[in-house]
Amino acid sequence: MKQLLFGVHNHQPIGNFKHVFEHVFNVSYKPFIDVLYDYPDFKFSLHTTGPLWLFFESEHPELIELIREMVARGQVELVISGFYEPVLASIPHRDRVGQINMAMKYIKDRFGITPQGLWLTERVWESEIVPALVESGVKYVMVDDFHFLSAGKRKEELYGYYLTESEGNTLAIFPIDETLRYLVPFREVSQSIDYIKNIPGDLAIIFDDGEKFGAWPGTYEWVYEKKWLQKFVEGIIKSDEIKTLTYTEAMQKFPPFGRIYLPTASYFEMGEWSLPAEGALEFIDFMNILKDKGLFDRYRRFVRGGIWRNFLVKYEESNNLHKKMLFISNLLKDKRSEKMKDSLYKAQCNDAYWHGVFGGLYLPHLRKEIYENLIGVDAKIKTPTYMIDDFNKDGKEEVSLRNKKLRVSVAPHKGGTIYEISHFGFRYNFQDTLARRFEHYHRGITVGDAPQEGVASIHEFKKYIDEKSAKEMVYDKYLRYSLIDHFLPIYVKPDELRYGRYNEMGDFVQGCFAFRRIENGIKMYRTGVLQGEHPLSVRLQKSVILLNDSIEILRRCRGEEPLDHIVALELNLKLESPKVSSNGNLYSIMESDFYMEDSKSIEIVDDVLKCSVLIECEESENIYIYPVLTISQSEGGFDLVYQGSCILFMKRVEKESFKDKVTITFKGGKSNA
């Protein structure tokens, strides 16, 4: 008799749109429970993350009542994670315990049971998390069978569970069967049932995304209208060779296979996604070589890519978000405010920190929610007005400036740029602009319409982009921060700036600046070189000063000979629905560029944030604005996403020295933090 351990994991991230929650509820969460409710003999495990439980409570309490009844009759075992679905390895021990205890308490209070199992977010395993799990009362977790294969186990040894240990604490670990994960629900019911009947062991183990039962492209018709799920459940129940068990029941009935220590890992695909783009391409090429030689299946368990933490290197913006979270966590470690801790825990929701087949980091509304929670806590805790530290943990010092309204963070070693402009009143980071990057999945894309064919896993089908998106597939040479100093040829054209087809004459964009503290701010300075027929030495100074709701930027440069360049200051600001105010009219800058001749100021209005940003530049001659648009993959194909607006203040300089003052003023919103 084979024992089927069937589990589903349901999750929507903090900050996702309510209509997305509602849609997935209607096409996946509700119909799935409706089908299984009618089959009380089919036992399964269910993991629902905190954001979804809160949504169900608010909008669909009837679903919670159904689940409560199914729990009471012994059909459903509820599994937890960190309440707001953090990658546990990425947060401090105290927050791991806090998140898990929060989830434990939620289930105890509403369902009257004590959960035994934990869904490991993105199956990111690092042995250092074991003490927090055991301390919180967790008895078992599930990870991919790939983790076990990487530890040297053979596939036929993975139809049961093992024990691992850390500091003398033991924890049961179940290997999720990848083959079964790809069969369910994408292949005929008979294939899944036949596979389960023929496993070389007792336990057939699956725990996978509930969204693939209805929410993934093409699956609603297949799973519900064509009754795949109903047929599968009935096929299992009618079988004399298969019985369903919960994970806890399996531990009570079967002993562990033995002891195991797993390497740091996630599921196989994560190893590809977390690599730098060029490394990911080489990884794919290597896999293809093994496949061509018929060696991949045999040696796949020894083929590994990167680890989840690589995303903090691959995407500097993700690292900024993560280190801001750690900064806030450290501020709170001795505080007892449950409300502030709840905001911190929300900000640890994993989705906005990385990118794979789903949008993740590329989705501005997810990053916005993380920052909103972090800034909300930051506003309430008093910290110095001037701080120097290696905030980004890159071995170099950054400077964080603060007053009652703003926190502005500066990286002197990265072009003397501003990488955070957090406004406490708006709870918003106006600097949250993502750079345009080459992603490995950009290779070999097809321009045109995708053919309509069959149902496939989101990992299987080919993706297409339209001509408009293809035009925007350009890549930045530097991060999209603010206070970037360009020295450009006098003949440069606006579209050359937008699409990166220009020559940078100076070495200031990514150069290292020395710095010192001044009143309410920081002064930075660098002696660099302008390229040309004769290299020209130039001394550049710039200061950042906080003045209530404003940022004042002072710039001064002096060359050893007269310049003849376009001197441009680049800001990259992110708003929600930005429009340029000009001559009494508003023009959207989310998709189109905008050129303003003989202009020294610009006002950007945002109806969503209920604010305006006024930028005044004393020496500007022309202003050029264009949208920063990225091309990222998602479960439905490729998305063209607005990440922010690049604003360039330009002036031709034909003398030895140049000085300027730029003021950025934020208006509207709440009057105080």
Per-residue pLDDT reduced to its tens digit, 189-239: 999 999 999 999 999 999 999 999 999 989 999 999 999 999 999 999 999
> Which own/partner contact pairs does 275-280 have at CB distance under 8 Å and 24+ positions apart?
275/305, 275/306, 275/310, 275/314, 275/440, 276/310, 276/313, 276/314, 277/437, 277/438, 277/439, 277/440, 277/442, 278/440, 279/305, 279/306, 280/305, 280/440
Which residues, at least 6 apart from 14, have a Cβ–Cβ distance to it below 8 Å?
51, 84, 346, 347, 349, 351, 366, 369, 370, 373
Query: How does residue 458 score in pLDDT terms, banded at 50, 70 and 90?
Result: very low
Instruction: Report d(CA 542, CA 536) in Å as an integer.
Output: 19
Helix (H, G, I), strand (E, B) or coil at 58: helix
Q: Which domain holds residue 180?
A: 2-266
Residue 89: DSSP 8-state: G
Tell which wins on pLDDT, 465 or 448.
465
Lowest mean pLDDT among 203-207, 457-461, 488-492, 499-503: 457-461
Identify whether 504 is a catalytic site residue: no
The 10s digit of each residue's pLDDT in 10-43 is: 999 999 999 999 999 999 999 999 999 999 999 9
Catalytic residue, candidates 128, 165, 202, 209: 209
* One domain for residues 254 and 389: no
pLDDT tens per residue across span 76-113: 999 999 999 999 999 999 999 999 999 999 999 999 99
**Mean per-residue pLDDT for 113-130?**
97
For residue 285, is it within any domain?
A: yes
Is the pLDDT at 460 greater than 60? The verdict is: no
The pLDDT, as a whole number, for residue 447 is 83
Residue 583 makes CB contacts below 8 A (sequence gap 6+) with none
Residues 70 and 144 in one domain: yes
Q: Which residues contact 305 (CB under 8 A, 6 or more apart)?
A: 268, 270, 271, 272, 273, 274, 275, 279, 280, 283
pLDDT tens by residue, 66-77: 999 999 999 999
299 and 338, same domain (yes or no): no
Residue 392 lies in a domain: yes
Under the banding of pLDDT at 50, 70 and 90, the label for residue 585 is confident
Could you tell me if 71 and 303 are in contact, meaning their C-beta atoms sit under 8 angstroms apart? Answer: no
Can you spell out the DSSP letters for 239-282?
Answer: -SSEEEE-HHHHHHHS----B--PPSB--HHHHHHTS-HHHHHH
What pLDDT is attached to residue 462? 61
Does residue 456 sit within a domain? Answer: no
CATH code, domain carrying 220: 3.20.110.20
For residue 378, tell me if it sits in a domain: yes
Residue 446 lies in a domain: no
Instruction: Please tell me whether the peptide bond between 115 and the residue prior to it is cis, using omega within 30 degrees of 0.
Output: no
Question: Is 80 exceeded by the pLDDT of residue 451?
Answer: no
For residue 508, which amino acid is it? F
Residue 314 has a pLDDT of 98
459 touches 477 (CB < 8 A): no
Q: pLDDT tens digit string along 634-666?
A: 877 889 999 999 999 999 999 999 999 999 999
Find the mean pLDDT for residues 306-318.
97
| C-alpha–C-alpha distance, residues 228 and 187, integer Å | 9
Complete edge-to-edge strand list for the sheet that includes strand 611-617? 514-518, 521-530, 536-547, 550-559, 657-668, 611-617, 601-606, 578-582, 585-588
115, 91 Cβ separation under 8 angstroms: no
Q: Provide CB contacts within 8 A for 172, sequence distance 6+.
A: 139, 140, 141, 161, 162, 163, 251, 256
DSSP class per residue in 293-348: TT-HHHHGGG-----GGGHHHH-HHHHHHHHHHHHHHHHHTT---HHHHHHHHHTT
- pLDDT of 456 > 60? The answer is no
Question: Which of 279, 347, 341 shows the shortest CA–CA distance to 314?
Answer: 279
DSSP conformational letter for 502 = S
Which residue among 77, 85, 122, 439 is the active-site one?
122
Residues 398, 299, single domain; the answer is: no
Once rounded to an integer, what is the mean pLDDT over residues 264-290? 96
Residue with tokens 């994970």: 247
- Residue 197's pLDDT is what? 97
**Total Cβ atoms within 10 A of residue 188:** 13
Q: How confident is the model at residue 455 (pLDDT cuts 50, 70, 90)?
A: very low
457: pLDDT strictly greater than 60: no
Q: Give, in order, the Cα–Cα distances in Å from 70 to each of 37, 42, 44, 78.
A: 7, 10, 10, 10
Average the pLDDT over 601-624 and give the result. Answer: 96
| Per-residue pLDDT, 669 | 58
Classify strands 622-634 and 594-597 as parallel, antiparallel or unpaired: antiparallel
> Same domain, yes or no, for 77 and 222?
yes
Which whole-number Å values give the CA distances from 220 to 236, 450, 459, in the listed order?
Answer: 21, 20, 17
**Number of separate domains in the chain:** 3
Residue 444 lies in a domain: no
Same domain for 528 and 551: yes
Quick check: is 447 in a domain?
no
Active site residue 241: no
Query: How far apart are the C-alpha atoms of 669 and 610, rounded to whole Å?
Result: 6
How many CB atoms neighbour CB 315 within 10 A?
22
Tens of pLDDT, residue by residue over 362-386, are 999 999 999 999 999 999 999 999 9
579: three-class secondary structure by DSSP? strand
CA distance 575 to 275: 30
Of residues 464 and 587, more confidently modeled: 587
Same domain membership, residue 563 and residue 607: yes
Of 281, 306, 331, which one is at a domain's C-terminal end? 306
Q: How does residue 453 score in pLDDT terms, banded at 50, 70 and 90?
A: very low
pLDDT for 60 beyond 50: yes
Q: Are residues 88 and 182 located together in one domain of the fold?
A: yes
Instruction: Note the pLDDT tens digit of each residue in 390-410.
Output: 999 999 999 999 999 999 999
**Does the pLDDT of residue 516 top 90, yes or no?**
yes
Q: Does the pLDDT value for residue 583 go beyond 70?
A: yes
Domain of 478, CATH number, reads 2.70.98.10
The verdict on 137 and 252 lying in the same domain is: yes
Q: Is 238 in the same domain as 365?
A: no
CA–CA dist 187, 182 (Å, integer): 8
pLDDT > 90 fraction of the chain, expressed in percent and rounded: 91
pLDDT over threshold 50, residue 172: yes
Residue 627 lies in a domain: yes
Identify whether residues 123 and 94 lie together within a single domain.
yes
Q: At residue 444, does pLDDT exceed 90?
A: no
Residue 631's pLDDT is 94
Compute the mean pLDDT over every residue in the chain, rounded to the nearest whole number. 94
The partner residues of 46 in beta bridges, in order of sequence, read: 8, 78
The residue-averaged pLDDT of 308-317 equals 98
Residues 495, 601, single domain; the answer is: yes
Rounded CA gap, 214 and 193, in Å? 20
